[in-house]
Structure formats: structure tokens, C-alpha cells
Amino acid sequence: MKAAFIGVGMMGAPMCLNLLKKGHDVTAVDLNSQHLVRVKGGGASTAPTPAEAAAHADFIFTSLPMPADVERVLTGPKGVLEGARPGTIVVDLSTNAPSAVKRLAATLAEKQVILLDGPVSGGVEGAEKATLAIMCGGPQEAFKRVKPLLECMGGNVFLVGPIGSGSVAKLCNNLTSFANLAVACESMLLASRAGLDPEVMGQVMQASSGASFALKRVQRKGLRGDWKQEFTIDLSYKDLSLALDLGRETGTPLSMGSLTYTLLQQARAKGWGGSDLVSVLRLLEEAVGSPVRARP
């Protein structure tokens, strides 16, 4: 099948490469020419604009950092809508606001282009191993058509409801994940200051009711002082902002989300926006003046 992939950065590149590995014809677009080098090595062709990539694609995937980026790529000058043919299916793999996705879907529908929101979860490792969870919102028939391509990129592909539903699911997931990470960092700090080896404490928690994917991140990166980005504070802040906005729209109190949001604000104020989310542990360490590290 002919596809276009717009945004081949840390997450987009491995997803694009997995489509290529399954024999699909993919045209890639990215503002950063260095990102294109990797996917060209895997067999992708390239185009200078989203419109040109869309002109010959049956399916178009976008993986972009911010909602404004998605809107510009889909509906802006030389965007997807200028080149896409009627019947083309677009899947936005980014994390976006449900209201924004619904508005974009209505705009694309005016030219008979179908939009699904299909945000992903599983991080760079999941993207590389094609084990991502992909949560889609949109028409069932369009989902059935694009599902074989989504299964090239993810091991768990869901249709969770109409357009916007995928974004709701992703925001709920990330709210849970970020709050889990914050409390896992607190637990590790408490254990360490009370005299326990945090490495052992992490093993105990993973074998107990405190186990979580977020805790694994703290064990793997935080206990080693590794703040190098996999999923940044800035992106976490953006996602949690969208979740809190949705909470206000629906009249849903999000107390734990608000507390976690405050921690992310503090980390950004430190200048750590480009560091990994696990830098929340670093923030807590600074507050008490002692690090939490795996013992030699």
C-alpha cells in the first residue's frame, strides 16, 4: 500500500521503518533533513511538503509534537489537504486535544478526506519493536481499512469510539502514567532516606502491588541519574495540560493530575524541559539535598 509518513523523529522514524519492513511504499516528510536520513536508509522516498507526499498516498500518518504542528501540516499552506485525494485516510498518531481533532476531522471531511485520531503509547522502545498500543477514534469502516498498517507498528490496536475518542484514551493513559511516575519517585526517595537500597526497593515493588511501567522507568533511568530524554518534561507538560483542559471541559476533578502538573512546572522552571520525564526524581532529590541512586 502507498503511504505518507509526516514527522519521522524519535517516535515517527521507527514506526515508518516498520511499515517499510512489511513491504509498504512510504514517502516521508520532515522539517529536519537529518531525520529523513534514517528512513531513507530503510527504503523510504521523500517529499519536500506534506501536500506532495499526500498526492500519491492512500494512507497518511502524522507523528508530531504539538497540536499546532498537526493543524499546520494538515490544513496549512502546502499541507495534506492541498494534495490528498477524496477517500484518503489520515491517521494522526500524535497526542492531541479531542476538540481539536474533531474540528480538523470536519475540515478534512469537506474534501472527503477521512481523519482518525490514533495516538500511541509504549515509548521509543515500543515504536522500535512494533509493540505500541494504538488507540483510535473514527469511523469503523475507515479503521478496518487502515488497521493492517497500524498492526505493522503496534501490537495492540484499538478502536475506542468516534473521532476524538483516541485522544481521550491517550490523555487518560498519560494522566495515569505521569502520576504513577511521580509517586514512584517519592517512594524511592522515602525508601532511600529511611536506609533501604533503592535498587532492592524497586525489585520489591515490582513483585508487589506497587508495580508499574512508570516504576520501571525510575529503576532504569532515575536510579542511575540518567536524565537523557526519551519522553521529555516539555511533552509530558503538554499532554498533562491537555488532560487538565479535558477535565475542566467535562467538570471532572483531577487532583492527582494537578499535583503532578505542578511538579512538571517546577522542572521546566529549572530549565529541564528537554530532559526526560524521570527528571521529576531529580527535582525531589534537590528538595531534600540527597540523591537516590542504585548502590554499587
132-191 tens-digit pLDDT: 999 999 999 999 999 999 999 999 999 999 999 999 999 999 999 999 999 999 999 999
pLDDT band, residue 1 (cuts 50/70/90)? confident
For residue 113, pLDDT over 90 is answered with: yes
Alpha-carbon gap, residue 32 to 8, rounded angstroms: 9
Q: Of 259, 268, 281, whose CA–CA distance to 233 is shortest?
A: 268
pLDDT 10s digits, 183-224:
999 999 999 999 999 999 999 999 999 999 999 999 999 999
Please answer whether residues 171 and 242 qualify as being in contact, where contact means their C-beta atoms are separated by less than 8 angstroms.
yes
Lowest mean pLDDT segment, chosen from 128-132, 183-187, 290-294: 290-294
With a cut of 80, say whether residue 296 has pLDDT above it: no
What is the pLDDT confidence band of residue 18, given thresholds at 50, 70 and 90?
very high
Q: What is the DSSP letter of 224?
A: G
pLDDT of res. 201: 96
User: Is residue 22 flagged as an active site residue?
Assistant: no
Say whether 88 sits in a helix, a strand or coil: coil
Predicted confidence at residue 30, as pLDDT, reads 96
Cβ contacts of 287 within 8 Å, gap of 6 or more: none
111 pLDDT more than 90: yes
Q: How many CB atoms lie within 10 A of CB 169?
A: 21
Encoded amino acid at 136, one letter: C
Is the pLDDT at 294 greater than 90, yes or no?
no
Which pLDDT belongs to residue 164?
A: 98
Torsion of CA 239, 240, 246, 247, to 10 degrees: 170
CB-based contact 170:135 (threshold 8 Å): yes
The phi-psi region of residue 194 (left if phi > 0; otherwise alpha if psi is between -120 and 50; otherwise beta) is alpha
- Kindly list the structural domains of the chain, giving each domain's residue range(s) and its CATH number in brackets, ordered by start: 2-161 (3.40.50.720), 168-288 (1.10.1040.10)
Tell me the C-alpha distance between 178 and 183, whole Å. Answer: 9
Instruction: Check if the beta carbon of residue 93 is closer than 8 Å to that of residue 118.
Output: yes
CA distance 16 to 95: 17
- Taking the CB of residue 119, how many other CB atoms lie within 10 A of it? 27
Which of 22, 40, 78, 170 is labelled catalytic? 170
| CA separation for the pair 86, 135 (Å, rounded) | 24
Is residue 59 pLDDT above 80, yes or no?
yes
